[in-house]
Amino acid sequence: MTRTALRQPAARLGRSLLPSSSPSQTQRASTQPSAPSPRLPGAAAQQRRWHSDFSSVNPNEVAHFTALAADWWSPHGSSRLLHLMNPLRHDFIRVCLASTDEPPPSATTTEDKKLRYLDIGCGGGIFAESAARLPTTAHVTAIDPTPSVLAVARAHAKRDPALRGKLEYRQTSIEGLEVPERPYDVVSLFEVIEHVDDPGAFLDRVRPFVRPGGWLVMSTIARTWVSWFTTNLIAEDILRIVPPGTHDWNKYINEDELRGFLAGKGWGAPKVMGVVYVPGLGWKEVRGSEKVGNYFFAVRRDEE
């Protein structure tokens, strides 16, 4: 990598992080709509399927992940860091469920009381498969717009007969998915929202799929000097432990921006957990690190 190539993203970072910038200026032009994201209609008027010109699917992102499909399930391949992060995803969900008034389901819970998951942007199925194997899970619906990646997910799931009837993959985006009569207990967006062009509109479309009292959980990356240095420069360009081009620093989302997208739209009980990748040890929770790099974030849909 040339010095010029290093200076260019660094200069963009400097301009974006100037102290004089107003809160509105910190929103990226590529992800900030010209008008506020539309509010969801009332339950009586809500259509079963979204009809609009908006799409959360970016063709460039689809092409990138198509190229990574072949070794998705290799623990030492391009998705290695996702495999290592997966246990923390479940830990975070357990923390969210344990914080509610109703106790989380146990292995002996009746089937109708077990959890129903919607995994959006499931990729090769790392989280979806692991969630479906839990004795507290009733069913997992996993969606992704990338056919080659879903083919890998389906082929891998067929190896385990225990997943039959508990895990369903669909090639679609959230715009093409019908809202079920009984929305999901947990909707997950793991390493997804930083690949969406309009996160505010995207989150609006996700909300109807979460049942009142259910959880929306996600993981993403804060847009800071540290995250550019660790994810773009070190992880992608130098060490190549993440395929180059996986992340666009301009689309990273800070915690306060996420809260802004969700404010006043029927969400409560926000939870955040910062995590740091430690070579040789994997991902570890580090308090306060959500301000500088990778983090988990969750909100509970208000009761109606």
Q: Name the residue type at position 153.
A: A
Is residue 120 situated within a structural domain? Answer: yes
pLDDT exceeds cutoff 90 at 250:
no
E strand or H helix that includes residue 277: strand 267-278
229 is in an annotated binding site: no
What one-character-per-residue DSSP string does 65-122 give? HHHTGGGTT-TTSTTHHHHHHHHHHHHHHHHHHHTSSSPPP-TTS-GGGSEEEEEET-
With beta carbons less than 8 A apart as the criterion, state whether 64 and 245 touch: yes
Is residue 238 situated within a structural domain? Answer: no
Is residue 22 situated within a structural domain? Answer: no
pLDDT exceeds cutoff 60 at 50:
no
How far is Cα 114 from Cα 80, in angstroms, rounded to an integer? 30
For residues 245 and 52, which has the higher predicted lDDT (pLDDT)?
245
pLDDT exceeds cutoff 70 at 172:
yes
The bridge status of strand 210-221 relative to strand 167-171 is unpaired
Residue with structure tokens 């200069």?
11
91 is in an annotated binding site: no
For residues 237 and 30, which has the higher predicted lDDT (pLDDT)?
237
Q: How many residues does the chain have?
A: 304
Is residue 23 situated within a structural domain? Answer: no
The stretch 260-287 carries a mean pLDDT of: 93
Buried b (16+ CB within 10 A) or exposed e, 107-127: eeeeeeebbbbbbbbbbbbbb
121 is in an annotated binding site: yes
Tell me the helices (H) and strands (E) count for the chain, helix number first.
Answer: 8, 8
Is residue 296 situated within a structural domain? Answer: yes
**pLDDT above 70 as % of the chain:** 72
Q: Which two three-digit tokens encode residue 138?
A: 């009733």
End-to-end CA distance of the chain: 54
E strand or H helix that includes residue 203: helix 199-206
Is residue 31 situated within a structural domain? Answer: no
pLDDT exceeds cutoff 50 at 96:
yes
89 is in an annotated binding site: yes
Q: What CATH number is attached to the domain comprising 175?
A: 3.40.50.150
Q: 84 lies in which domain range?
A: 59-100+111-221+253-301
190 is in an annotated binding site: yes
pLDDT digits (tens, 9 = 90+) for 212-226: 999 999 999 999 888
Is residue 12 situated within a structural domain? Answer: no
pLDDT exceeds cutoff 80 at 145:
yes
Is residue 26 situated within a structural domain? Answer: no
The domain total for the chain is 1
